[in-house]
């Protein structure tokens, strides 16, 4: 298993500002993932944070809007830049833990952002 801590747990932000979300894992992991969950919706993968290289972004997500840092094997940050109300979502950090030959995702508690 993995214990994942995210900060902040929630925030209310003004349009046009940026916010950085931090994710700390209790063990070293190769890959960390950032997901977005819009209100009442499913989870969508934003990007994979790789230590020592640039993050890999999924279709529809760009580095200028969601810059990611991965300074070491236990920590990552996601910045939501130039926010608009459409960015109001829960942002979740996750890692893969191998069990019985298959990987399962463990999630942090999420960071709930409201953009006014």
Partner 1 sequence: QQPVQSPQAVILREGEDAVINCSSSKALYSVHWYRQKHGEAPVFLMILLKGGEQKGHEKISASFNEKKQQSSLYLTASQLSYSGTYFCGAGTASKLTFGTGTRLQVTL
Residue ranges binding partner 1 (CB under 8 A)? 31, 33, 41-45, 48, 92, 96, 102-110
- Both tokens of 36, joined, read 């977005």
Shortest approach of partner 1 to residue 95 CB, angstroms?
Answer: 9
Shortest approach of partner 1 to residue 19 CB, angstroms?
Answer: 19
The 10 Å CB-count burial string (b at 16+, else e) for 58-84 is eeebeeebbbbebeeebbbbbebbebe
In the complex with partner 1, the residue whose CB is nearer, 48 or 81, is 48
Tell me how far the alpha carbon of residue 86 is from its chain's centroid.
Answer: 17
Shortest approach of partner 1 to residue 91 CB, angstroms?
Answer: 11
In the complex with partner 1, the residue whose CB is nearer, 61 or 81, is 61
Helix or strand or coil: residue 35? strand
Cα(95)–Cα(108) distance, integer angstroms? 9
In the complex with partner 1, the residue whose CB is nearer, 24 or 81, is 24
């Amino acid at each position: 298993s993995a214990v994942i801590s995210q900060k902040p747990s929630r925030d209310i932000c003004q349009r046009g500002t940026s916010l950085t979300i931090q994710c700390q894992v209790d063990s070293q992991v190769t890959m960390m993932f950032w997901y977005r969950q819009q209100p009442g919706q499913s989870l969508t993968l934003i990007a994979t944070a790789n230590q020592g290289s640039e993050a890999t972004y999924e279709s529809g997500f760009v580095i200028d809007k969601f810059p990611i840092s991965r300074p070491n094997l236990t920590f990552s940050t996601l910045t939501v830049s130039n926010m608009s109300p459409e960015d109001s979502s829960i942002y979740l950090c996750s890692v893969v833990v191998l069990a019985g030959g298959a990987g399962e995702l463990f999630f942090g508690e999420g960071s709930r952002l409201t953009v006014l």
